[in-house]
């Protein structure tokens, strides 16, 4: 009787899922070829988004297809299933997966058995109960949101250039970003750079008329690059007439009016929310040990606490930071920061440990000292703190691009990114809005007699 292959089920196609699968494919090449091991990847999207490149995609420096990695193509030898985790049965070692075929139909979820399970479900945007946020807020975590935001900003310039109502014009030219971390600062800086360039094609609009506002609840921005570089970033952005509001919160955004905790009010048609992330809520349905933030508690070997065959890493996992010098506030070791630097390395270590387990060897603890951080402040501008050294301006921007180019998976993707950067340096920016892509059937519905096309108000 033929023995069933050992199935490694990887849930999530982000940094952890992709790098774990890639590493396993190399480590278990012989087992995969013989059919004694099977690697199955489950992800709701057929691609991995390299999120550090989202601001450049929003600004038009990179094409959307170059900031994503197609899972089916790069994971040849692995089985890919589009779907989302619904629940786990740890005793039976099965997982229920909601696939596109089960959405809107009576077909039950797909049940997959597993011998080793990797949870790399990542995180989602962390929102607060701010009045009007759900109706008017725009996120910035996916490539779809990044391109939608680019189209939206250019559409606001179109609105401002074609209206005679000063209130509509002022609201269209006011852009409010909430959150002073990487996503908020880089998105604002890149889009302000793009809009400033685009204004040359709108004779009735000068760059000085646009209002760019960054709202941060704490007293600093970009804490990852250190206090001095964060202060430099504030000076650099304020020098571009960007209004930085520190120690300020968004109170409401009803009726397209952003009300801040300092009492100021800004009519705006653009409210971008980048105020942090939280672990994927599906973890709560898995009956696993969670920390106070909803992350799965893990050992330094990246095994879930109390489990022998369930692994986790990345934003969804609370992994002790063995390189930390200072204890956590409640005692013990602090956890690794939920960033791409740790997620990529944890994915590789997890794959090494899983392969070692399958071959009867002991896993190795994950330990990585944070080497530093880099952030872009627009074209040719940036801040960095690497191995204790501080960089700013063009050197920091160049390091930002070089570092993230080295982290993008596959040689194919690296070559495409370099080619597009090279072309962008030789030719002018493209500043056309393709907002109609978000409603591709609108024109046909109108032609077919459906009345006004079903397009959302922007």
pLDDT tens column, 294-345: 999 999 999 999 999 999 999 999 999 888 776 666 667 788 888 888 888 9
What are the strands, taking DSSP E only, across 115-256? 116-119, 123-125, 137-138, 174-178, 211-215, 242-245, 250-252
Instruction: Report the C-alpha gap between 203 and 195 in whole angstroms.
Output: 13
Closest CA to 378 of 190, 136, 134: 190
Instruction: Report the C-alpha gap between 14 and 122 in whole angstroms.
Output: 7
Domains of the chain with CATH codes: 6-125+278-358 (3.50.50.60), 133-275 (3.50.50.60)
According to DSSP, the β-strands at 277-279 and 123-125 are antiparallel
Tokens (6 digits) for 371: 């080497």
**pLDDT for the residue 451:** 58
Tell me which residue has tokens 């609105």. 159
Q: What's the whole-model pTM score?
A: 0.89
Instruction: Report the C-alpha gap between 167 and 416 in whole angstroms.
Output: 43
**pLDDT for the residue 21:** 96
Instruction: Report the C-alpha gap between 300 and 307 in whole angstroms.
Output: 13
Write the burial class of residue 223 (CB in 10 Å: 0-12 exposed, 13-18 middle, 19+ buried).
Answer: middle
The kind and range of the H/E element at 89 are strand 84-89
| Percentages of the chain per state (helix, strand, coil), in multiples of 5 | 40, 25, 40
Closest CA to 408 of 88, 51, 166, 154: 51
The sign of the torsion formed by the CA atoms of 173, 176, 180, 183 equals: negative
**Rounded mean pLDDT for each run of 10 residues along the chain, 458 residues in total:** 83 94 94 92 94 91 90 93 92 93 80 95 89 93 92 94 94 96 93 93 92 95 88 94 95 95 95 90 90 92 94 93 73 80 91 94 88 86 86 92 89 92 82 70 75 53
Q: DSSP letter for 207, please.
A: G
Assign 6 to helix, strand or coil.
Answer: strand
The kind and range of the H/E element at 427 are none
């Amino acid at each position: 009787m033929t023995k069933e292959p050992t199935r490694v089920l990887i849930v999530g196609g982000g940094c952890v899922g992709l790098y774990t699968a890639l590493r396993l494919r190399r480590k278990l090449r012989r087992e995969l070829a013989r059919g004694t091991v099977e690697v199955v990847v489950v992800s709701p999207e057929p691609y991995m988004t390299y999120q550090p490149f989202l601001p450049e995609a929003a600004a038009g420096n990179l094409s959307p297809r170059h900031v994503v990695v197609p899972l089916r193509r790069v994971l040849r030898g692995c089985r890919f299933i589009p779907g989302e985790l619904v629940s786990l049965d740890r005793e039976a070692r099965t997982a229920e997966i909601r696939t596109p075929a089960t959405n809107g139909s009576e077909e039950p979820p797909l049940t997959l058995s597993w011998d080793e399970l990797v949870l790399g479900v990542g995180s989602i945007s962390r929102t607060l109960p701010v009045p009007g946020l759900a109706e008017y807020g725009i996120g910035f975590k996916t490539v779809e949101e990044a391109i939608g935001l680019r189209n939206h900003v250019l559409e606001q310039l179109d609105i401002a250039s074609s209206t005679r109502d000063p209130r509509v014009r002022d609201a269209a030219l006011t852009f409010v970003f909430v959150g002073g971390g990487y996503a908020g600062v880089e998105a604002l800086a890149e889009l302000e750079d793009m809009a400033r360039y685009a204004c040359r094609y709108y004779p009735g609009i000068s760059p000085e008329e646009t209002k760019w506002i960054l709202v941060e609840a704490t007293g600093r921005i970009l804490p990852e690059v250190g206090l001095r570089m964060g202060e430099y970033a504030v000076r650099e952005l304020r020098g571009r007439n960007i209004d930085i509001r520190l120690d300020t919160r968004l109170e409401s955004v009803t009726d397209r009016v952003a009300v801040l905790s300092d009492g100021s009010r800004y009519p705006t048609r653009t409210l971008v929310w980048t105020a942090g992330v939280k672990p994927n809520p599906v973890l709560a349905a898995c009956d696993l040990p969670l920390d106070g933030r909803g992350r799965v508690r893990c050992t330094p070997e990246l095994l879930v606490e109390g489990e022998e065959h369930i692994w986790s890493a990345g934003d969804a996992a609370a992994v002790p930071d063995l390189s930390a010098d200072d204890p956590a506030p409640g005692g013990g070791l602090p956890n690794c920061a939920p960033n791409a630097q740790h997620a990529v390395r944890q994915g590789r270590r997890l794959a090494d440990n899983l392969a070692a387990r399958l071959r009867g060897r002991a896993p190795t603890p994950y330990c990585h000292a944070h080497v530093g951080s880099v952030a872009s402040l627009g074209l040719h501008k940036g801040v960095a703190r690497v191995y204790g050294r501080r960089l700013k301006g063009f050197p920091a921007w160049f390091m930002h691009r070089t570092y993230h180019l080295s982290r993008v998976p596959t040689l194919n993707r690296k070559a495409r990114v370099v080619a597009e950067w090279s072309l962008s340096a030789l030719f002018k920016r493209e500043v056309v809005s393709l907002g109609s892509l978000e409603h591709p059937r609108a024109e046909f519905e109108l032609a077919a007699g459906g009345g006004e096309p079903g397009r959302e108000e922007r």
